[in-house]
Structure 1
Amino acid sequence: MSPVPPDATQILELAASHGLKLKPDTLSVNEAGLDYRVVMARDLEDTLWVLRIPRREDVSAKLADEKKILDFIGPRLGVAVPNWHIAQRNLIAYPALPGRPGLTLNPTSGEPVWHFDRESRDYARQFGQLLARMHAIDVEEVRRAGLVVETPEQVRATWASDLARVRQAFDIAPSLTERWERWLGDDSYWPRFVTMTHGEPYPAHVLLAPDDTITGVLDWTTAKVGDPARDFVFQKMLGVDAVFEATVDAYVKAGGQVWDRLGDHCVELLAASPLGYALYALTTGLPEHRAAAQAQLTPEAAM
C-alpha cells in the first residue's frame, strides 16, 4: 500500500456519498490492479474497510455478475469471501477480511513481496483441500444461481475463438501460434469434465493468518464453471514440482478428480497467458496496453 494519495479528499467524499465515513489519516492505496484501485481505510468506529474503485466503465459493467458469484460462493467455500456492503458502479466497499495476502507488490519497485514460504507443504495441502471443496460444488446449483457454466467443449472453443480474435488484431510469433494450435488440437491435455473455479487463486488473492492458515479468498471476477486446471496454474508457476505435487495429492485425497496431463496442461495455460493480456488490451484500447501485449506475442522481436 502507498502513502496517503493526492486525491484522498475525493476518495473520502466518494465513500461519504455512499454513507461510509472514513478517517482521513488511515487511507492507503494499492495502484497495482489493472481493473481497480484498492483503498484501505478505517471508519469512525475503527473498522478497517476495503474500497475498490473501478478504473474503467467496462469494469463497472461486471459488478452485478461478481456480486452474484460472491453471494453464491460465500456459504459454500469454508473460508471468508468479501461481503459487499456497498456495490455501486463507482464504488465497491466491504469490511476487510481476516488475514493478509500471501503476496503483495513493493509500492516503489513493483517487485513481489512474499509473506509466506512458497515451498510450504502445509500451504500446498491447505490449498489443495480448498480447491477440492470449491470444485465439488454441484454444477447444477451453479447453473440455477445464474452463473456462467461452460462445457468441456466450450472451454476449448473459447480458447480457439480467443486465438482467432487476437490473430486478427496482433502479430503473433509463429512459434507461439504453432504451440497453441498443437495444444488446442491434442485431446490428452484437456479435461473431460468441468468444475466451479475461481480462475485466479494465486497468493495475492489468498488471505493467510499469522500461522499461514488460509482464512479467505479475494477477487472472484473471473469465477465460473470451467476448466479445473485454471485453479492449479499458479501453483505450477511457482516452479517447485514438489509443491505442485503436494497440492494435487491433497486435492485428490479430499475427493478432487484429476487426469494424467493436468501438470502439462497447466504449463500450456501459462504459455497461453499472452492471449489473455491481448484481450485485455483490446478491451481497454490503451496504446500502452496494446504495446505490452504485442511484446508478449512477439517475444523474439523484443529481444
Structure 2
Amino acid sequence: MRATTFGRVPRSALTLAALATAAVPGLVAVSARAEPAAGPDVDVARVTGEDGSAWIVRAPTHAAAGASLEAEVGLLGSLDHYVTSGVLSFTVPQVAGSAPLPEGGRAIVHRAVSGTPLDIDALHPGPGLAADLGRVIAAVHELPHSVIENAALPVYSSDEYRERRLVELDHAAATGKVPPTLLRRWEHALEDVSLWRFQPVVTHGDLGPEQVLVQGGRVVTVTDWSQARVADPADDLAWLLVAAPTDAIDSIVEAYQLRRTELSDSHLADRALLVGELALARWLLHGVRNRLADVVADAVDMLQDLDEQTRDAD
C-alpha cells in the first residue's frame, strides 16, 4: 500500500484521468490505473486514450510539491535540448499539457515513456547495461549548471552540501532511534573535510530502478527530475554502489570515469557508500515527520542491521 501523508487519501485514477482529458486537447480517456509514485508528494496515473495512446498524469499533493513539479517542468524543457542534440543518450518526459487543481497548482500530463524499470540484480560486468549506466550518469554530471539555475532548483557548494548532510544527521539523531556507534561513525565521516572536497555537478538527485527505464540492453529514459540540483555527484552513484552486484560495479565506475572530462575526486566512491547508508536516516526522518509507524519500524530494523554489519567489518 502506498504511504500517504497524515492519512491523506490519494486521488483516484478516474479523477486523474479527468484531469488528463482537460489537459490534453483531443484526449478521450478509455481507461486509467494508478501508478506507483516516487513518494507521497504526488499522485500518478497511467491513462489510455481511445486511439491507444498512453499518458502519465501527475498531480502534487501539497503546495511545496506543486512548486517542485513546476521547477521540474522548466528543467525538462532545458534537458530536451541536450536530448535532441545527442549530448544525452536517453529521453526525458516532455509535458503535453496541464490542468488546474481545485486547491491550487496544476496537474501535469506527458506521454508515457518507453522502457521498463531497471532490474539492478540482473546487471553484469562488461560493456553492456552496467557500462551504459555509468555513461548516462556521467553525461548528466557534465551538464552546465545553468540548466539547474534557470529552473530555480537548488545550487550548493561542497561546504554547503556537507553542512546540509550534518543537519539531516542531527535531526536523525534527535529521534533517538539511530544506533550510537553508527551515529558516531557518520559524524566522524561528515566532519572529515577532506572527504568532502568535490566539484559540485548537475545531479538527478533521486535515481533508482523506477526512474531508470531500460530497453534492448541500454538506458532509454530517465524520469522524475523534481529533486535535481547542483550538488554531490556521489548522490547519483550511491544507489548503484550499494545495491548492484559486486562484479558489475567496476564496469559502472570505469564507464563513468571515462565519460567525465575533468574528474579529480579521490573520495567519490567513499562518499557514495556513505550516502547510501545515510539514505536510511532520511527514510527514518520521512517516517517520523509523516507519522508513518511502518516506515519508522522498517528504518529502525535496517539501521540496526547496518550497525551490526559495519561493527563486524570494523
Instruction: Compute the TM-score of the two structures, normalised by the length of structure 1.
Output: 0.81
Letter aligned with residue 91 of structure 2: A
Q: Does 1:30 align with 2:35?
A: yes
Task: Render the CA deviation track for 1:233-253: whole Å, top value 9, x for unaligned.
Answer: 122123433322111211222
Which aligned pairs between 1:1-303 and structure 2 lie closer than 5 A? 7-19=12-24, 21-24=27-30, 26-31=31-36, 33-35=38-40, 36-76=42-82, 77-87=88-98, 88=100, 89=105, 91-103=107-119, 117-121=122-126, 122-140=128-146, 142-209=148-215, 211-256=216-261, 257-281=263-287, 283-296=289-302
CA contact (8 A) 1:235 1:243 kept: no
CA contact (8 A) 1:51 1:91 kept: yes
Task: Render the CA deviation track for 1:279-302: whole Å, top value 9, x for unaligned.
Answer: 42355344544554555556699x
CA contact (8 A) 1:118 1:238 kept: no
Alpha-carbon distance in 2 for matches of 1:263, 1:300? 18
Residues 213 and 154 from structure 1, CA distance in 2 versus in 1: closer, same or farther, beyond 3 angstroms? same
In structure 1, the gaps of 5 or more residues are 104-113
CA contact (8 A) 2:75 2:147 kept: no
Instruction: Give the aligned length.
Output: 284
User: Secondary structure, in 3 states, of the residue corresponding to 1:232?
Assistant: helix
User: Secondary structure, in 3 states, of the residue corresponding to 1:204?
Assistant: coil
CA contact (8 A) 1:173 1:299 kept: no
Which moves more between the two structures, 30-39 or 175-184? Answer: 30-39
Letter aligned with residue 179 of structure 2: A
Alpha-carbon distance in 2 for matches of 1:145, 1:31? 26
CA contact (8 A) 1:129 1:254 kept: yes
RMSD (Å) for aligned C-alpha atoms:
3.0
Residues 66 and 128 from structure 1, CA distance in 2 versus in 1: closer, same or farther, beyond 3 angstroms? same
Return the offset for 1:178.
0.6
Which moves more between the two structures, 140-149 or 244-253? Answer: 140-149
Return the offset for 1:159.
0.3
CA contact (8 A) 1:198 1:220 kept: yes
Return the offset for 1:191.
3.8
Return the offset for 1:174.
0.4
Q: Percent identity?
A: 22
Alpha-carbon distance in 2 for matches of 1:187, 1:212? 39
Alpha-carbon distance in 2 for matches of 1:58, 1:282? 19
User: Secondary structure, in 3 states, of the residue corresponding to 2:73?
Assistant: helix
Instruction: Compute the TM-score of the two structures, normalised by the length of structure 2.
Output: 0.78
Residues 58 and 294 from structure 1, CA distance in 2 versus in 1: closer, same or farther, beyond 3 angstroms? farther
